């Protein structure tokens, strides 16, 4: 589908500098721009590419001041990065959506199905499942008994949703994710082995949540494991049983949250962050990559790093010291030798 510069600018509430009828039908990076594509410039490091890019239209910040002539049509906006993301959403929405039920899908007779639902090959939809309007279940998805999936939600190939789980509207669950597997619950016995504790809770995922590929969200032992509205999880994340992640928190890849921990709103976790169980993280907390959290974080909005983690500033100052410990040790050894000689 083609979009003109004037249409894109109106959508982005920007202004056109150049040909308002310039047309694009694809997206490209500015350094790899081709005719008929839309690019953006937000980072000054990439400015050199705008003077030679072949992209037809480039989104730039309002205050961008070119140092040379530019052949592309410009769309000036307040924030080029955010506007390009919005343009990508428009581009994605313009693509034709899959609809229809494959003859190779297995759908129970008790399923309640909305309008314009897509179910791909070898997907299984079990008893008493509710699918909202415009739900898309790609091939080889499994949906267990009594699951509810809200309108516009997409389950990519190989997603598994265990019985009783609830997924809200306009969510995206990426390939290989598992929603509602058993929590890690075992009780030691007198025979020095472990007896499984039945996990009879469920997972509740609210609206506009995105779950990355091969991420697992375990069902609760009792009650529910909950991802609140707007939560974004990267690939390869582990969410333990009875965990609650509050609204608009984002967590990067390979992080893990142990059972019954509570994470506040608008938090940001870097990659490979680990939380022990039964702790609480205040809203707005930012945790640097590879940090280990072993106790409650009660102060809202702080930045922490390290394992065990503490405030970012003191950590950085401490790091500048302990990375020089071998050198300091050598100096101490030399001083000891001089003292002995005295």
List the catalytic residues: 241
What distance, in Å, lies between the first and last C-alpha atoms of the chain? 86
Distance, CA of 213 to CA of 24 (rounded, Å): 31
Distance, CA of 332 to CA of 63 (rounded, Å): 56
The full DSSP string for 171-205 is: -EE-TT-EEEEPP--EEE-TTSSEEEPP---EEEE
Closest CA to 294 of 309, 305, 314, 312: 309
Angle between helices 80-94 and 5-12 (to 10 degrees): 120
Which helix (DSSP H) or strand (DSSP E) does residue 118 occupy?
A: strand 118-119
245 DSSP assignment: E
Distance, CA of 222 to CA of 327 (rounded, Å): 53
Q: Which residues pair with 134 in a beta bridge?
A: none
Q: What share of the chain is helix, strand, coil (3-state, %, to 5)?
A: 20, 30, 50
The full DSSP string for 14-53 is: -EEES-TT-EE-EE--GGG--TTEEEEE-SGGGHHHHTT-
Is residue 86 classed exposed, middle or buried when 0-12, 13-18 and 19+ CB atoms within 10 A define those classes? Answer: middle
Closest CA to 36 of 12, 7, 72: 72
Distance, CA of 15 to CA of 156 (rounded, Å): 37
């Amino acid at each position: 589908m083609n979009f003109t510069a004037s249409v894109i600018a109106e959508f982005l509430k920007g202004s056109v500098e150049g040909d308002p009828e310039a047309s694009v039908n694809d997206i490209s990076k500015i350094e790899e721009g081709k005719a008929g594509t839309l690019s953006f410039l937000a980072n000054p490091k990439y400015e050199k590419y705008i003077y030679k890019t072949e992209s037809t239209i480039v989104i730039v910040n309002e205050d961008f001041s070119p140092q040379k002539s530019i052949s592309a049509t410009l769309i000036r906006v307040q924030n080029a990065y955010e506007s390009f993301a919005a343009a990508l959403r428009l581009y994605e929405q313009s693509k034709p959506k899959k609809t229809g039920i494959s003859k190779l899908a297995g759908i129970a007779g008790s399923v309640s199905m909305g309008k314009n639902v897509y179910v791909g090959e070898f997907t299984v939809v079990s008893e008493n499942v509710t699918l909202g309007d415009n739900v898309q279940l790609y091939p080889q998805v499994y949906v267990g008994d009594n699951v509810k999936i809200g309108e516009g939600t997409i389950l990519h190939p190989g997603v598994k949703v265990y019985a009783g789980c609830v997924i809200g509207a306009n969510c995206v669950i990426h390939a290989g994710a598992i929603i509602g597997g058993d929590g890690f619950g075992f009780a030691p016995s007198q025979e020095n082995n472990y007896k499984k504790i039945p996990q009879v809770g469920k997972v509740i995922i609210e609206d506009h949540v995105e779950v990355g590929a091969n991420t697992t969200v375990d069902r609760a032992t009792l009650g529910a494991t909950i991802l609140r509205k707007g939560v974004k999880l990267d690939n390869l994340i582990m969410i333990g049983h009875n965990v609650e992640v509050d609204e608009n928190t984002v967590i990067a890849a390979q992080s893990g949250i142990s059972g019954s921990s509570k994470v506040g709103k608008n938090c940001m976790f870097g990659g490979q962050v680990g939380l022990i169980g039964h702790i609480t993280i205040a809203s707005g907390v930012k945790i640097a990559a590879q940090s280990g959290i072993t106790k409650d974080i009660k102060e809202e909005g702080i930045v922490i790093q390290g394992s065990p983690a503490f405030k970012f500033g003191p950590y950085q100052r401490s790091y500048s010291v302990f990375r020089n410990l071998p050198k300091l040790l050598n100096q101490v050894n030399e001083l000891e030798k001089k003292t002995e000689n005295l």
